[in-house]
């Protein structure tokens, strides 16, 4: 086998070695450790991966590694040349043996690797014996950075009484070291302050509840978390962050009255709606979890009411109905308070309500006199003589001392002229006779005043009805214009009449009609009572002559059914008319008028003709 064949065989073996699984595993391990340097395998070049450790300080150059050509026989004929990033300034090479040195302090966080090129030349010919090859020097990391919490300080909120293991929040720290090499950037979280209430997951920084906590006992906790690199090994750097954890409220506490018994008082003069007092129930919760409603239980709910002050959460007891010291001096009511919103998780621990007793004393006050009735109704017959008794009003002082009262009438002067009252006993009498036909009712107001305290005064209405007596006789309701024709026959109806009476009859009016006695025998007319409060006037003869008698005056007697019955005589005027089949009423009216003025029929015709001509 010749030399060229042997050289080809050696190159193939080198290539196969570089592609073998063991070589790949070795390379992967170097990558996992983050300290491997990539290299390009060129024919004739021999070198190992090159690394330079950061932050090294030395007065002499620090050896990094060696470049070597397989053609180097170590006889000084080859010269090594270095170019690229940092060549000649940061990195130097021994041109005789290819050893590379670093002369300055490196910082991996600023520049993690340097790309350089190497060349080997023959010193005699200055010709390259190897082609120029590129390689990388990686800066190996050291633990020179502390962890940092960039988002701190932290604030988190979690509901109180949350079960163990509940996630509260997560803290995260960063480390500027190389995470792909060693443990410099591998952080471990631990709890410096916050035990035994909280715990932290070492790898994730998630803070969790370690026990159930009650906000009403303590509502805020300060937790300190430490992040340590190098997985907590010796020489590791650390940093801390504070986490303020607030416990939010849940409704886990029922309201409780401050007192088992309250004492309040209210004056009997207090109007409806008066605030009697307040009760207060404490609730350790806050916000809407402490909102509550108050109620009154039992029979006293019709006298007192209770409302909730939403700002102070007090129960305000109000007067719903007037109280009277003389009737009832003490009330005992039961007040109940209930949470407005409840949490079903805690209902098993008991009802979220509480009860208390409120005793309310009614305070006596100087009250005005009280009438036995609010309204009095009295009767008096009309035309009763002055001084007649109408009725009696009575008022008394409801207070224990029973002060005497004085009565008076407070309405207008016209009523005082009709009635008077005895200021000592409340007797009301008339001061003059009353006429029902003028006023059938009189309304007066009577006052009762305490004699020792004139400011205490009360009023009562007195309604007085004037009873009717039969003091008005019936009469015609109007003036009747009655006419009879000269050619009228006997028994002819000439007029229907009725009557009215100003008196008021409880059984209804009934009138009786007849001719007056003086006209019964020689009258030319008759009266027929229809038994329905009306009567009919008939002629008693045939034929009348205007020239002999122009009008007749017929006295009619009207009798009522009152007690005692009253009668009146009303005169009906009957005018005789010159008419044919039908009575010309208009002509008869003016004929009667002219006749009364002494004009004849011919004169009447002339007057009418003149009127027509003028029209």
DSSP 3: H
Domain boundary among 406, 438, 467: 467
* Residues 568 and 472: beta-carbon distance below 8 Å: no
Q: Is residue 43 part of a domain?
A: no
Residue tagged 């010159």 (tokens): 578
Predicted confidence at residue 270, as pLDDT, reads 92
DSSP 31: H
Same domain for 287 and 326, yes or no, is yes
Q: Backbone phi, then psi, for 300, in 5-degree steps?
A: -75, -5
Model confidence at 31, in pLDDT bands (50, 70, 90)?
Answer: very low
Across 25-53, average pLDDT: 49
pLDDT tens digits, one per residue of 84-135? 898 888 888 888 888 889 888 888 778 889 999 988 888 888 888 878 888 8
Q: Is residue 549 part of a domain?
A: yes
Same domain for 511 and 594, yes or no, is yes
Predicted confidence at residue 410, as pLDDT, reads 81
Residue 467 vs residues 27, 205, 471: alpha-carbon distances, Å: 134, 104, 12
DSSP, collapsed to helix, strand or coil, labels residue 483 as: strand
Q: Is residue 20 part of a domain?
A: no
Model confidence at 18, in pLDDT bands (50, 70, 90)?
Answer: very low
Same domain for 163 and 130, yes or no, is no
CA 142 remoteness from chain centre: 68
Predicted confidence at residue 546, as pLDDT, reads 85
Predicted confidence at residue 189, as pLDDT, reads 93
Same domain for 119 and 202, yes or no, is no
Give the helix/strand (H/E) hosting 12.
helix 3-19
Q: Which of 16-25, 75-84, 138-147, 471-480 has the lowest mean pLDDT?
A: 16-25
Q: Is residue 10 part of a domain?
A: no
Using CA atoms, how far apart are residues 237 and 146, in angstroms rounded to an integer?
Answer: 5
Predicted confidence at residue 473, as pLDDT, reads 83
Mean pLDDT, all residues of the chain:
82
Model confidence at 467, in pLDDT bands (50, 70, 90)?
Answer: confident
Same domain for 438 and 526, yes or no, is no
Q: How many CB atoms lie within 10 A of CB 18?
A: 12
Q: Is residue 609 part of a domain?
A: no
In 3-state terms, the chain is what percent helix, strand and coil (to 5)? 15, 40, 45
pLDDT tens digits, one per residue of 527-582? 999 999 899 999 988 888 888 888 898 898 988 887 788 888 898 999 998 876 55
Dig out the tokens for 175 from the structure: 């480390």
Give the helix/strand (H/E) hosting 101.
strand 99-102
Using CA atoms, how far apart are residues 276 and 267, in angstroms rounded to an integer?
Answer: 9
Q: Which of 292-296, 323-327, 532-536 has the lowest mean pLDDT?
A: 323-327
Dig out the tokens for 138 from the structure: 């990686």
Instruction: Of 373, 455, 460, give the one whose Cα is nearest residue 408.
Output: 460
Class of residue 78 by CB neighbours under 10 A (exposed 0-12, middle 13-18, buried 19+): buried
Looking at the DSSP assignment, which residues form a beta bridge with residue 531?
A: none
Residue tagged 């007040």 (tokens): 335
DSSP 256-291: EES-SEEEEEEETTPPTT-EEEEEEEE-SS-GGGG-
Class of residue 529 by CB neighbours under 10 A (exposed 0-12, middle 13-18, buried 19+): middle
Give the helix/strand (H/E) hosting 9.
helix 3-19
Q: Which of 176-180, 191-195, 336-340, 507-511 has the lowest mean pLDDT?
A: 176-180
Angle at 614 between CA 612 and CA 615, to 5 degrees: 65
Higher pLDDT residue, 238 or 584? Answer: 238
Same domain for 162 and 129, yes or no, is no
Which range marks the domain in which residue 216 is found? Answer: 148-248
Higher pLDDT residue, 585 or 80? Answer: 80
Predicted confidence at residue 106, as pLDDT, reads 86
Same domain for 58 and 163, yes or no, is no
* Residues 104 and 87: beta-carbon distance below 8 Å: no
Residue tagged 């806050």 (tokens): 286
196 preceded by cis ω (within 30°)?
yes
Model confidence at 355, in pLDDT bands (50, 70, 90)?
Answer: very high
Q: Is residue 476 part of a domain?
A: no
Across 332-351, average pLDDT: 84
Same domain for 403 and 512, yes or no, is no
Predicted confidence at residue 6, as pLDDT, reads 45
Same domain for 188 and 132, yes or no, is no
Predicted confidence at residue 593, as pLDDT, reads 53
For the chain, the domain total comes to 5
Q: Is the dihedral of CA 596, 598, 599, 601 positive or negative?
A: positive
Same domain for 527 and 581, yes or no, is yes
Same domain for 200 and 262, yes or no, is no
pTM value > 0.85? no
Predicted confidence at residue 403, as pLDDT, reads 83
- Beta strand extents in 125-215 (DSSP E only): 133-140, 148-149, 154-159, 167-170, 173-174, 188-193, 198-200, 206-209
* Residues 543 and 521: beta-carbon distance below 8 Å: no
Q: Is residue 165 part of a domain?
A: yes
Domain boundary among 348, 363, 378: 363
Q: What percent of the chain has pLDDT over 90?
A: 32
Q: Is residue 174 part of a domain?
A: yes
Residue 607 has pLDDT above 80, yes or no: no
Higher pLDDT residue, 462 or 402? Answer: 462
- CATH number of residue 226's parent domain: 2.60.40.60
Class of residue 547 by CB neighbours under 10 A (exposed 0-12, middle 13-18, buried 19+): exposed
Across 585-611, average pLDDT: 61
Domain boundary among 223, 248, 273: 248
pLDDT tens digits, one per residue of 281-292? 999 888 888 899
Across 172-187, average pLDDT: 79
Across 303-314, average pLDDT: 92
Q: How many CB atoms lie within 10 A of CB 247?
A: 21
Model confidence at 613, in pLDDT bands (50, 70, 90)?
Answer: confident
Dig out the tokens for 215 from the structure: 């906000």
Predicted confidence at residue 591, as pLDDT, reads 56
* Residues 123 and 78: beta-carbon distance below 8 Å: yes
Dig out the tokens for 518 from the structure: 């003086």
Same domain for 382 and 301, yes or no, is no
């Amino acid at each position: 086998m010749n030399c060229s064949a042997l050289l080809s065989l050696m190159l193939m073996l080198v290539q196969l070695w570089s592609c073998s699984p063991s070589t790949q595993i070795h390379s992967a391990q170097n990558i996992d450790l983050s300290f491997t340097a990539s290299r390009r395998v060129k024919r004739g070049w021999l070198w190992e991966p090159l690394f330079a450790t950061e932050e090294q300080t030395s007065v002499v150059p620090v050896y990094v590694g060696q470049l070597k050509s397989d053609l180097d026989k170590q006889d000084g004929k080859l010269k090594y040349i270095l170019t690229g990033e940092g060549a000649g300034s940061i990195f130097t090479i021994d041109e005789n043996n290819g050893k590379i040195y670093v002369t300055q302090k490196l910082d991996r966080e600023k520049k993690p690797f340097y790309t350089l090129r190497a060349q080997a030349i023959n010193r005699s010919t200055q010709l390259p014996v190897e082609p120029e090859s590129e390689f990388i020097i990686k800066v190996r990391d050291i633990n020179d950075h502390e962890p940092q919490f960039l988002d701190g300080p932290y604030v988190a909120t979690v509901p109180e009484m949350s079960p163990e293991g509940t996630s509260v929040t997560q803290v995260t720290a960063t480390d500027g070291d190389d995470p792909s090499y060693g443990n410099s950037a591998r952080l471990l979280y631990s709890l410096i302050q916050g035990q035994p209430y909280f715990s932290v997951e070492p790898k994730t920084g998630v803070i969790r509840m370690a026990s159930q906590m009650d906000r009403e006992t303590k509502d805020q906790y300060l937790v300190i978390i430490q992040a340590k690199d190098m997985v907590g090994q010796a020489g590791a750097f650390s940093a801390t962050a504070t986490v303020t954890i607030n416990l939010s409220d849940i409704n886990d506490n029922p309201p409780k009255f401050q007192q088992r018994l309250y004492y309040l008082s209210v004056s009997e003069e207090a109007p409806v709606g008066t605030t009697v007092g307040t009760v207060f129930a404490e609730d350790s919760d806050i916000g809407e979890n402490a909102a509550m409603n108050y109620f009154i239980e039992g029979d006293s709910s019709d006298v007192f009411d209770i409302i909730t002050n939403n700002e102070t959460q007090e129960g305000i007891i109000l007067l719903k109905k007037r109280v009277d010291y003389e009737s009832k001096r003490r009330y005992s009511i039961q007040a109940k308070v209930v949470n407005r919103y409840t949490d079903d998780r805690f209902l098993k621990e008991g009802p979220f309500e509480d009860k208390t007793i409120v005793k309310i004393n009614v305070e006596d006050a100087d009250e005005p006199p009280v009438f036995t009735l609010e309204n009095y109704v009295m009767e008096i017959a009309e035309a009763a003589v002055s001084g007649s008794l109408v009725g009696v009003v009575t008022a008394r002082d409801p207070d224990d001392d029973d002060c005497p009262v004085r009565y008076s009438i407070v309405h207008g002067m016209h009523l005082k002229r009709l009635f008077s009252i005895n200021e000592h006993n409340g007797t009301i009498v008339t001061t003059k006779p009353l006429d029902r036909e003028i006023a059938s009712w009189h309304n007066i107001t009577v006052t009762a005043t305490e004699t020792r305290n004139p400011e205490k005064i009360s009023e009562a209405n007195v309604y007085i009805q004037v009873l009717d007596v039969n003091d008005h006789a019936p009469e015609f309701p109007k003036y009747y214009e009655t006419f009879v024709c000269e050619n009228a026959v006997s028994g002819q109806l000439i007029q229907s009449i009725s009557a009215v009476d100003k008196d008021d009859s409880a059984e209804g009016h009934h009138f009786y009609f007849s001719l007056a006695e003086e006209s019964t025998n020689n009258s030319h007319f008759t009266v027929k009572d229809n038994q329905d409060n009306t009567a009919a006037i008939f002629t008693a003869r045939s034929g009348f002559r205007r020239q002999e008698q122009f009008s007749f005056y017929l006295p009619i007697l009207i009798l009522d059914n009152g007690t005692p019955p009253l009668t009146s005589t009303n005169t009906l005027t009957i005018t005789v008319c010159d008419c044919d089949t039908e009575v010309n009423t208009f002509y008869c009216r003016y004929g009667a008028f002219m006749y009364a003025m002494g004009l004849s029929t011919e004169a009447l015709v002339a007057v009418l003709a003149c009127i027509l001509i003028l029209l």
